[in-house]
Amino acid sequence: MTRRFFRPAPRLRGTLVAPPDKSLSHRAALLAAMSAEPVRVTGYLHAEDTHSTLRAVEALGTLVQERPDELVLRGPGLRNAAEPEGGAVIDVGNAGTLIRLVTGWLAGQPGGGTWTLDGDASIRARPMGRVVEPLRGLGAQIEARAGGLAPLVVSGRALTGAHYDMPVASAQVKSALLLAGILADGRTSVREPAPSRDHTERLLLRAGVDVRREGDVVSVGCHDELELEAIHVPGDPSSAAFAVAAAVLVPGSRIVVEGMAANWTRVGFYRILERMGGVVVGPLEAPGGPLAADEPVCELDVSHGPLVATTVEPDEVPLGIDELPLVALLGCFAEGETVVRGAQELRHKESDRIATVVDGLRGLGADLEATPDGFVVRGTGGLEGGVLEAHGDHRLAMLGAVAGLASRAGVEVVGMEAAAVSYPGFVEDLAGLTGS
Ligand code: S3P
């Protein structure tokens, strides 16, 4: 386990090229594999999670060519996913997006075939019933371990479109159903209790699928062949959020973030940050517009600002779910009480992020407590520092690093290697901005 010390930073200055987006990289590889013709993917994220996806699509019959500036994927097409040689298990590693989305695709393979999907200890503890149950509603045959846990055994078969009312907003569940839906007879629709990231819908629209959003319902029709020649993956707002939070917290900082996805379903954190007094200037996509096929990109100019507390309401949660640990950290520095409500989903991430964030920040001197669906943070104007355990969770490791830069005494992160799941260049990028 790597222990790494992050000392208080005098300030952050410079330009961060946002690392490639993890959510979009998973989808780019999967949809490329599902396409009839070769697909060029530029800007693909080279990290542990997204390498799991490349290995998975290879096992399903995709030829992946790695060229200096792009990947070329020649997949088996929508209805011809291969069974891995010798019935090998497909290892998704730590990637929740991969296991949930690929299950939708494989469940609808009309020519049969059986696939076993498994992952690390964290994946085996995360709820899979949330995709298995609704896919069964389309006629899918999927076996899970007791309690709806991985490994999953998926048998391909012809599916019939259906409607599903999602009890919690989850882009992974929605995407699994839409991918199965394009293989199913008739229409498949999903109602979301609140908007969640819409990358799958945008890519399907670009690929020629009849995908519609009407109010809170997204639906797809049965489709023959996906047509995608090239996909560009923009920068990841969730990864960039760590340097952005550090720049807002450390006095005298000013950074520019380049090439970041500005999709309104991904930038909830940036709106929360502005509300708290962080100075973020840049053209984020306006919320709630009609479904678009493109992924807008923006440049942000971020500087330090005195922070005030805020309340994050349940309908904002899916738009910034992965950044809520950073909201807890910002709350430590803000004047007043910062509250996050309706975020019980945090308990089902790579770690129980309500427990690990609250324990982790408390260990650094923060005044905060867990609630069943979020946390309450009392701002004390700063943070002392200490040791933070990452619990194998990439976002927690990076949270500890940012806390260290903004703290009085520095933070030692235990398990820093977890950052490689989504952001292998994280420590180097931070060092570039702090000049250390
Ligand atoms: C993701 C959706 C979110 C998010 C995860 C990535 C995706 O999960 O937390 O990091 O790529 O669709 P849920 O769909 O479970 O909310």
CA distances 144 to 91, 103, 153, Å, are 15, 11, 7
DSSP single-letter state for residue 9: P
Residue 142 has what pLDDT?
A: 98
Distance from the alpha carbon of residue 175 to the mean position of ligand 1, in angstroms? 10
- The reported pTM is 0.98
Residue 284 has what pLDDT?
A: 95
Residue 87 has what pLDDT?
A: 86
Could you read off the pLDDT of 54-106 as tens digits, one per residue?
999 999 999 999 998 999 999 999 999 999 989 899 999 999 999 999 999 99
Please report the beta strands in 83-238, taking only residues with DSSP state E, as ranges in sequence order.
90-91, 114-118, 141-145, 149-155, 163-165, 188-191, 211-214, 217-220, 230-232
How far is Cα 424 from Cα 3, in angstroms, rounded to an integer? 16
Residues of the chain with pLDDT under 70: none
Residue 116 has what pLDDT?
A: 98
Given a contact cutoff of 8 angstroms between Cβ atoms, the answer to whether 224 and 197 are in contact is no
Residue 36 has what pLDDT?
A: 87
Could you read off the pLDDT of 214-244 as tens digits, one per residue?
999 999 999 999 999 999 999 999 999 999 9
Could you read off the pLDDT of 287-301 as tens digits, one per residue?
999 999 999 999 999
Q: Which of 22, 23, 204, 393 to mutate to test the pocket of ligand 1 (most atoms within 8 A of CB)?
A: 23
Which burial class, exposed, middle or buried, applies to 404 when counting CB atoms under 10 A from its CB (0-12, 13-18, 19+)?
Answer: buried
Show the ligand 1 pocket: residues with CB < 6 angstroms.
Answer: 23, 97, 170-172, 175, 197, 321-322, 345
Residue 254 has what pLDDT?
A: 96
Catalytic residue numbers read 322
